[in-house]
Chains A and B, each alone.
Chain A
Amino acid sequence: MATTDKEVKELIKREYEHGFVTEIEADTFEPGLNEDVIRRLSKIKQEPEFMLEWRLKAYRRWLEMDDPTWAHVDYPRIDYNSISYYSAPKKKEDMPQSLDEVDPELLRTYEKLGIPLHEREKLAGVAVDAVFDSVSIGTTFKEQLAEAGVIFCPISEAVQKYPELVEKYLGSVVPAGDNFFAALNSAVFSDGSFVYIPKGVRCPLELSTYFRINAANTGQFERTLIVADAGSYVSYLEGCTAPMRDENQLHAAVVELVALDDAQIKYSTVQNWYPGDEHGKGGIYNFVTKRGACQGRNSKISWTQVETGSAVTWKYPSCILKGDNSVGEFYSVALTHNYQQADTGTKMIHLGKNTTSTIISKGISAGRSSNAYRGLVKFQPGAENARNFTQCDSLLIGDRCGAHTFPYIESRNKSAIVEHEATTSKVSDEQMFLCRQRGIDPEQAVSMIVNGFCKEVFKELPMEFAVEAGKLLEVSLEGSVG
């Protein structure tokens, strides 16, 4: 598809729009990782003893582990001693007590990113927790949530205020030694969000955490824990961006969800970490472990993710369907462009009777990128009458990119039913010709065709974010035609 040289040049000039750096004084640890670093971190966070012990145990496990190499991604070995494990904006005194005390420079950063935190400009109906490098800088709508009995706060605060809840559930879904990156995260996690929805409460607002990496040479290791008590409901959304830097930066997060009897958690992600430049230089290594446990009967966990950023993505939001009649869902759009690499998918582990899971995965590859779906559907002997439906679709733009599908199905119960559908298609010259013949710009045409391809997933996102996700795809696809 020929666009003129001039147009192509203009398109390439357009860059990652969240790539600015905030000039702010920060307290940053010297690079390097050892037990002393973990002790210092725990001390700064004023953590109770159990937390430090938990971290040290995880660290010792991690030392015995190796980087995973089975994913369909390729990146140089990471030197974990060249990374700084803590960076926080310097505060005038202690932690800000309210958003009014937050450095105006930081508030401006979030405004630039489209996340106003000021009381008067807050996003309607969405409570936001903003995490900047290693610390949470503020949470909106605190009072309104407190009235409903909902706890939504930085996890560092939860460790101090609600140690019994944290001790009970932290690591209950993703144990500290689960995998290499989860172990690292357990040792050094700095902040993230904690959510507790009490029995029978339908959370009155959408909850949202906005993660921003700013400092250079630091890793971000956030930890999120959401517990939905019996009969409760919560919808949670996370967003992520980072500045443009030539060096790769590591982001190794862990998210744990727990749904008790009749509880529902809807977890949505719009991930737009810096993907590196058009030559594959720089970008975030996004190595994330996300897992939800449907502990209770009739519980439901639904993951929706729109992944457009990161240089390398390694991420499998999963569900453990333990409670009878529990439901797990995974809706994913993963877009890779230029030299991005993604290995993403899900695991649905059926333990309980009549458990059902649905997987809809849409992979879009452009440029010279590589995009893999990796999924496991497993039925344990107790999973009577369990069923899964999987649909994996890949869309290729151009002829230098790759799409791969690695579905694994293990059934140890004869009554289980699995359906699997997979397609691979291309944005065809005929489709492009039709759009252009009707006066539509090639870029807009590609974006429209891709949006159509992703429709089944977008409709699962909260309304205001579905629009954002569509726009994000459009920006991410810029320069893919020509």
Chain B
Amino acid sequence: MLSIKNLHASVEGKEILKGINLEIKAGEVHAIMGPNGSGKSTLSQVLAGNEAFEVTEGEVTLNGENLLELETEERAREGIFLAFQYPVEIPGVSNLQFLRTAVNAMRTHRGEPEMNAAEFMKLAKEVSKQVDLDPAFLKRGVNEGFSGGEKKRNEILQALLLQPKLAILDETDSGLDIDALKVVSDGVNALRAEDRAILMVTHYQRLLNHIVPDYVHVLAGGRIIKSGGRELALELEERGYGWLGIKEDEAAAAN
């Protein structure tokens, strides 16, 4: 589904990704782990098409199509979804209006009729229950005054509504208490499907107790230095990043 070859990317002239190679097939769940500053968030931003980052080398294809040539919104319509680490607020724009606009943009792209307000309200209410968000949140401004946990649940709500082909979750577990983590994980597990891939970016392995990945990759210094199965995450938890020759503080300082 997703194929990344020798991807290099920089921000403000500084190279962050230094040759990433990764293959993700439909139905798979991949976890990317690594210390702070290793380039994890950059990878997710680059895949989603954030123009603050410049791709200097390499290629990325989604189902054979060159992803890097597409605008951000075109990538989204092709099925790339990014759950943000720090979702921004859009004051005055109701969550419901925002979500319906997004869902209808996707439907129009697929040649399906737009959903009217009543139909969408019904769907959105059902899905908000799934992530334990009071439907009252639908009427509030996008992320306006939401707590950290509510913002994260709102991201998963969006993924469930948009039904992407590839869902990228950027540090979705950060700032969540154990109950919220459970709710969010259940939401992500509900996304698992044969025709969908999930790419989780996380610093800690605790999320992986709830969402069990098929593959785990360790990112450090802008490269994937080790790949393995679920057991790699457990090993990292036990031994830290040090045994792979990574000094976490140094990596962070470099940024």
Contacts and interface: CB of A to CB of B under 8 A. Distances in A.
A437 B141 contact: no
Given A436-B72, A441-B105, A454 B48 contact: no
Given A437-B82, A439-B105, A431 B50 contact: no
Contacts of A434: 84, 87-88, 90, 142
B98 A448 contact: yes
A2 interface: yes
B92 A437 contact: no
Given A2-B51, A433-B72, A434-B84, A439 B93 contact: no
Contacts of B162: 438-439
B51 to A, nearest CB: 6
A438 B158 contact: yes
B88 to A, nearest CB: 4
Given A433-B50, A441-B73, A451 B92 contact: yes
Interface in B1-57: 48-52
A2 B49 CA distance: 11
Interface residues of B, number: 31
B77 A439 contact: yes
Contact of A431 (B51, B52, B90, B158): B90
Contacts of A448: 90, 93, 97-98, 101
Contacts of B92: 451-456
A1 interface: yes
Nearest to A442: B73
Interface in B78-121: 80-82, 84, 87-88, 90-93, 97-98, 101-102, 105-106, 109
Interface in A447-466: 448-449, 451-456
A182 B30 CA distance: 71
Contacts of A428: 88
B51 A452 contact: no
Given A448-B97, A448-B101, A452-B90, A1 B51 contact: yes
A453 to B, nearest CB: 6
B67 to A, nearest CB: 13
A440 interface: yes
A439 B106 contact: yes
A377 B52 CA distance: 44
A429 B49 CA distance: 12
A442 B185 CA distance: 31
A456 B141 CA distance: 13
Contacts of A449: 90, 93
A435 B80 CA distance: 13
Contacts of B237: none
A456 B92 CA distance: 8
Residue of A428, A435, A441, A444 ringed by the most chain B CB atoms within 10 A: A435
Interface string B66-80: 000001110011001
A430 interface: yes
A437 B72 contact: yes
B102 A440 contact: yes
A436 B73 contact: yes
Given A4-B71, A431-B90, A449-B93, 14 more contacts: A429-B51, A436-B49, A436-B76, A437-B49, A437-B73, A438-B98, A438-B105, A438-B162, A439-B102, A439-B106, A440-B101, A440-B102, A452-B93, A456-B92
Interface of B: 48-52, 71-73, 76-77, 80-82, 84, 87-88, 90-93, 97-98, 101-102, 105-106, 109, 141-142, 158, 162
Interface of A: 1-4, 428-431, 433-442, 444, 448-449, 451-456
8 nearest A-B pairs in the assembled complex, by CB-CB distance: A452-B92, A452-B93, A438-B102, A439-B105, A439-B76, A436-B72, A455-B92, A436-B73
24 contacts: A430-B88, A431-B90, A433-B48, A434-B84, A434-B87, A434-B142, A435-B98, A436-B71, A436-B72, A436-B76, A437-B76, A438-B76, A438-B98, A438-B102, A438-B158, A440-B73, A440-B105, A442-B73, A448-B93, A448-B97, A448-B101, A452-B90, A452-B91, A452-B93
